[in-house]
Amino acid sequence: MKSPCSCSFFLSRALFAVVSVLALAGCGSTRLWPFGEVEGRPVVPDNAVLYRCNADKRFFLRMLANGDAWVILPEREFRLARVAAAPGRRFSNGTAVLELADGAAGETSLNDGPAIAMAGCRAAAKP
């Protein structure tokens, strides 16, 4: 006579295997990390613009409803408030500074101390 514990052990292992396979299958179709390419085109997060800068650097910028800016870098994301007294379109959080160009001909820059210094940035054309 078999013990009831051995059947439940094998049943739980089979259930775990099925759930694991289904979970892994779902991971293949979703890309959460925007710093990559699909079919040769960069993956851009929803409601964001890709900026390409000198030295092959890039970042994503999402403008928020209240006028602030949301910067997406490979290592982190952060919010910058619009600086009202500054001329042009300048955003800052006290440390990082984003200066947006006026028009397509201008250049945007993003500086966050010595760690992040991006210059000559231009918005990439939308595919």
- Condensed to tens digits (0 to 9), the pLDDT of residues 46-94 reads 889 999 999 999 999 999 999 999 999 988 899 999 998 766 789 999 9
pLDDT of residue 31: 45
Residue 36 has pLDDT above 80, yes or no: no
pTM strictly above 0.95: no
Mean per-residue pLDDT of the chain: 77
The pLDDT assigned to 6 comes to 60
Same domain, 63 and 110: yes
User: Does 51 or 22 have the greater pLDDT score?
Assistant: 51
Q: Are residues 71 and 105 in the same domain?
A: yes
Number of domain units in the chain = 2
Task: Note whether 65 and 117 are same-domain residues.
Answer: yes
Same domain, 70 and 115: yes
Apex 66 CA angle, 114 and 34, nearest 5 = 55
Domain, as residue range, for 12: 1-30
Residue 21 DSSP label: H
Are 31 and 41 within 8 A, CB to CB?
A: no
The C-alpha atoms of residue 38 and residue 42 are separated, in whole angstroms, by: 6
Q: How far apart are CA 84 and CA 94, in angstroms?
A: 14
pLDDT exceeds 50 at position 99: yes
Q: What is the pLDDT of residues 114-124, one digit of tens each?
A: 777 899 999 98
